[in-house]
Structure 1
Amino acid sequence: MALDGERGAHATERQSLSVPRQAPDETIFGRQASELVAELPERLSTRVLENAERLAEWPALVDGEVRWRYAELGGEIRAAAEWLDALGIRPGDRIMTVSENCRALVVLLLAASERDVWVAIVNSRLSAQEIDAIRDNCQPRRIFYTSEASPDAEAHGRRHGAEPFAHPSLGRLGLSPLAEVEPEPVATDGADQVAAMIYTSGTTGTPKGVMLTHRGILYIAALSGGMRHLCEGERVYGVLPMSHVFGLSSVCMGSLYNGACLYCVPRFDAPAMLAALEQERITVLQGVPAMFARMLETLRREGRSLAAPALRYISAGGSPLDGDLKRRVQALFGLTLHNGYGLTEASPTISQTRIDDSFDSNTVGRVLPLLEYRLEPLGDAGEDEPDHAGAGELWVRGPNVMKGYFRQPAATRACLTEDGWLNTGDIARFDDDDQLYIVGRSKELIIRSGFNIYPPDVEAVINEHPDVTLSAVVGRQVEGNEEVVAFIQCEPGARADEEALKAFIAERLAPYKRPTRLVLMDALPATASGKILKGRLRELANREGAA
């Protein structure tokens, strides 16, 4: 039983959790963040077209053998905007791209911006069922399939009866027939006008179209890109899918808004990326943790060293970064592996480490300048260990927060208040220096025998084993309790067995955190961006438990 003083301390802590705060203004690459925000244009395409004049001869985009300077990119955007007019696309219409990263996708996005058209960017590697569900929700005026860059896009186009079209500069495409749909109202203000929709959800349930505004995406492009010191002459390896908001806002728009050269890469391939680092002298590399893990694995398997003569900045996002992988990547590159945190509904970045930061901890950096944030008490969760004291559910408000889910008001109300506060669904804490730490997702929290277990804590320990490439931990309901199940992907040729891994884990984790079951897999199921599909693993764990 708590003493009265303890009760008072806990009550004070819970009250302070709910107090909103605003991240202060700060200097970013020589300018104040507030200045950068004040000069944001109303549309995605505006600054890129200005760069076509100001940086006309600087390299803008590389797509395989195709290399465009900014003047050429600007000409392609203007020509594509006129092409959209000729195709019957009206202001306020939605178009849908079934695609992988390529010049056609970049140009269509920016041409659509010029015409106040929304773009639903959909990864062509999704299943037919997923693509069709998104199409039915989006109701696009036309669908564009980037056939040259993606065999999967071409296959979806054939399935939908798309007309093949050989575009003289964008490559082979597929075009759907014109659909009779109602356009959306057009807003002059970039904070109200939707630029892109990114769909969340998997094979189950209705897909949700996250409506991202021009201002929200540009806020991330300007600030996040500025924090990476992007400018003309920089070469950015763009392998993160633009159908994922990290690849759209931070990589693609962050590069082109700030005058850097974007390398459009349709799919991650470790040997191809290693070759580009050396031969193309890539300067900025952003990935997900799994991408870096597979690059380490490739170098080890092939017995060769890294050659990255111009690389100056590396970062990981999209999923939790554990300390062991961070240490191994930093040792290989001789650079700080920067980290950040965000979600699709926040365009995506909420926090990131600054360019001069160097932390041994797993911080995801400070909240981006001028964003408001607060932590809400967790309510009826179990007991936390001291390391997670003061943790709460993170809420944020700012220009990067989505407008809502397309035509799904109930789903929007479930996470977004009328006055603009977004519930991230993540459990977080702050240290005394305002560094943010993500403890776990509230829906992934495992409560075992009254104790809170955060999957990233367990995964970080498992990933320290030299034979482990990746791991993913989920909870499984059992009668009156919840147990921990760990799915593990081992290095090729590794000989680790279940008993050896259990002994390794037992030395490093409290008994209540130790997995009840270890499942060894050749490869963990993942999205095109490398993010592990925990929902699928949770289904596997529960099916196995029921059996």
Structure 2
Amino acid sequence: MLERDAILAQLPERLHQLLDRHGREHAASPALYEGDITLSYGELRLAVDLLQAQLLMDGVRAGDRVMLVAENCRLLVAALLALSRLDAWAVVVNARLSASELNTIEQHCTPRRVLFASAASGSAARHAQRVGAQPRDVAHLGGFHIGALNSTCLIEPVEQDSAAQVAVMIYTTGTTGEPKGVMLTHRNLLYIACTASRLRHLRRDDRVYAVLPISHVFGLTAVCLASLFSGAALQLQGRFDAEELARALAEDGVTLMQGVPAMFARLLEFADQQGIELRAPRLRFLYAGGSPLDMSLKETVEQRFGVPLHNGYGLTESSPTVSQTRIDAPRRDTSVGRPIPGLEILLLDNARHSAVARGEVGELWVRGPNVMKGYYRAARQTAQVLTADGWLNTGDLARQDDEGALFIVGRSKELIIRSGFNVYPPEVEAVLNAYPGVVLSAVVGRPVAGNEEVVAFVQVADAARFDVQALTAHLAEHLSPYKRPSHVRVLSTLPCAASGKVLKHQLKAMSLDL
């Protein structure tokens, strides 16, 4: 693993040392754009100094957990780095979660303090008001609120080894069940920051559109930390808005845009509804991840922008990247590319407990410097997915072609077995998404006596004019009988997490009422 060792040799020990990679000559260069405010790398460094001092005055200690309730903003970026300096854990939580969801996370991780990015997020401000949080103000970062001191908070051991010291804890979105606190170490995150920077050919003159939530590991590592690693500028956007994205691509000099497929689908829908041409004069890299990418969306995006739409795959537990297509070798299919440098993979047949043959579908296991430390206060759940020698069971089904590229077939828990045949939801969703008027789709299994049915949910551009019977005929033309949905339900919007990922467990519950 010479390539892995070469990457590890480049990594700093802690997240905050990313700023140390860029000398005085880069201090005046833009680091963060947030609305009308721009912070240079020098100003960001000063802001981190000041916030670290404020957190110390507010009683934060090494080994504490500090919840950051925020949407993308300069305060959130600075807080990640300031907490790294203190050897405290950042528990990053999207402010758009409900009060009960926040309470569940807080009760589980028992933070020393809860910081609310109230000036940048109306949702965070409402949460701060609800708990009676106190106002604070730090130069270059503006106002925020901080919750009461938890005097009963027990500190965690501080590890000098970056591979052992937790930097950030992210609670999974709960798309398949109860959320768990994923402990990600400094080495986990920095390994992906470096790898993402290299594979995307990030440069100091790049301007990266950062709309993926930093509270989600995709936005945290592959967008935010990778940009800081390379010295690029982040254009922070609190929430996805198709009109704002179209404007930014046309006017702001954005060079890189990374998102989930749903964002690209909604951007195209906006452009078609408004009858506008999408322009992006400086754009050089587009990337989709976080959920399956279907071929029709990929081809349309590439045709509109004139650049390849790259694809990749990962999960929170692997910080997140497992594989991605290479910038100098774009693909004409929906492969998620080859594994990233330094990562080992296995595709296993669980029934035989052995590796599958090349080209066959197996459950994907991965091992490398980016694999999580474990789930917080959940040793049993950790042992269910992580072996003693570092192999992580992703729970996803995949196959690998002769060139080593991976194709994600679906989640093992989402596999539908209909009349003895395997139905992989992404395959059905790709056919649904190719039909005119369908913006998004999601397929789930519905248990019936002795069998499972395929149920499809679709979000369409014009529900009043949408012809479900015509869609059913389209499915019959392109799918084998056992793959065809027994029910197709049109929704105004599909339920999604803040990251843009469709919440299939909610749809599965809805399917039981059909």
TM-score > 0.5, shorter chain as reference? yes
Inter-partner Cα distance in structure 2 for 1:233 and 1:203: 37
Q: Does 1:236 align with 2:208?
A: yes
CA contact (8 A) 1:52 1:73 kept: no
C-alpha distance 44-378 of structure 1, shift in aligned 2 (>3 A): same
Aligned counterpart in structure 1 of residue 90 of structure 2, from 119, 142, 150: 119
Inter-partner Cα distance in structure 2 for 1:343 and 1:358: 22
Which AA in structure 2 matches 1:463? N
Q: Name the residue aligned to 1:292.
A: 264
C-alpha distance 121-398 of structure 1, shift in aligned 2 (>3 A): same
Q: Name the residue aligned to 1:336.
A: 308
Q: Does 1:377 align with 2:377?
A: no
Q: Name the residue aligned to 1:137.
A: 108
Moved more, 495-504 or 292-301: 495-504
Aligned counterpart in structure 2 of residue 58 of structure 1, from 29, 40, 48: 29
CA contact (8 A) 1:290 1:470 kept: yes
Inter-partner Cα distance in structure 1 for 2:168 and 2:27: 26
CA contact (8 A) 1:52 1:72 kept: no
CA contact (8 A) 1:469 1:490 kept: yes
CA contact (8 A) 1:95 1:120 kept: yes
Aligned counterpart in structure 1 of residue 494 of structure 2, from 519, 524, 539: 524
Aligned counterpart in structure 2 of residue 218 of structure 1, from 190, 207, 226: 190
State the 1:204 CA deviation.
Answer: 9.3
Q: Name the residue aligned to 2:273.
A: 301
Inter-partner Cα distance in structure 2 for 1:244 and 1:142: 20
Corresponding pairs, count? 511
Inter-partner Cα distance in structure 2 for 1:232 and 1:285: 16
State the 1:380 CA deviation.
Answer: 9.0
Q: Name the residue aligned to 2:460.
A: 490
Q: Does 1:449 align with 2:419?
A: yes
State the 1:164 CA deviation.
Answer: 2.4
State the 1:259 CA deviation.
Answer: 0.5
Aligned counterpart in structure 1 of residue 139 of structure 2, from 147, 159, 168: 168
Taking the TM superposition and a 5 Å limit, the aligned residue runs for 1:25-64 are: 34-51=5-22, 53-64=24-35
Q: Name the residue aligned to 1:16.
A: none
State the 1:167 CA deviation.
Answer: 3.3
CA contact (8 A) 2:173 2:497 kept: no
Q: Does 1:434 align with 2:400?
A: no
Q: Does 1:425 align with 2:395?
A: yes
Inter-partner Cα distance in structure 2 for 1:215 and 1:61: 24
Inter-partner Cα distance in structure 1 for 2:482 and 2:270: 35
CA contact (8 A) 1:52 1:71 kept: no
SS state at 2:140 partner: coil
Structure 1: gaps of 5 or more residues: 1-23, 26-31
Aligned counterpart in structure 2 of residue 197 of structure 1, from 164, 169, 186: 169
Inter-partner Cα distance in structure 1 for 2:121 and 2:348: 44
Which AA in structure 2 matches 1:182? L
Which AA in structure 1 matches 2:494? L
SS state at 1:414 partner: helix
Alignment RMSD (CA, Å): 1.8
SS state at 2:328 partner: coil
Moved more, 268-277 or 51-60: 51-60
Q: Deviations over 1:497-516 (max 9, x none)?
A: 22111001100000000000
CA contact (8 A) 2:113 2:149 kept: yes
State the 1:250 CA deviation.
Answer: 0.5
Q: Name the residue aligned to 1:354.
A: 326
Inter-partner Cα distance in structure 1 for 2:258 and 2:178: 30
State the 1:351 CA deviation.
Answer: 0.3
Structure 2: gaps of 5 or more residues: none
Q: Deviations over 1:166-200 (max 9, x none)?
A: 33321221111111211100011110000000001
Aligned counterpart in structure 2 of residue 156 of structure 1, from 117, 124, 127: 127
Which AA in structure 2 matches 1:273? L
CA contact (8 A) 1:33 1:223 kept: no
Q: Does 1:465 align with 2:435?
A: yes
Which AA in structure 2 matches 1:220? I
CA contact (8 A) 1:467 1:494 kept: no
CA contact (8 A) 1:343 1:424 kept: yes
Inter-partner Cα distance in structure 2 for 1:204 and 1:153: 26
CA contact (8 A) 1:120 1:197 kept: yes
Inter-partner Cα distance in structure 1 for 2:176 and 2:196: 33
Aligned counterpart in structure 1 of residue 479 of structure 2, from 509, 512, 519: 509
SS state at 2:513 partner: helix
CA contact (8 A) 1:49 1:74 kept: no
Inter-partner Cα distance in structure 1 for 2:407 and 2:450: 30
State the 1:231 CA deviation.
Answer: 1.6
Q: Name the residue aligned to 2:160.
A: 188
C-alpha distance 48-526 of structure 1, shift in aligned 2 (>3 A): same
Inter-partner Cα distance in structure 2 for 1:428 and 1:110: 36
Aligned counterpart in structure 1 of residue 71 of structure 2, from 92, 100, 104: 100
Q: Name the residue aligned to 1:67.
A: 38
CA contact (8 A) 2:183 2:372 kept: yes
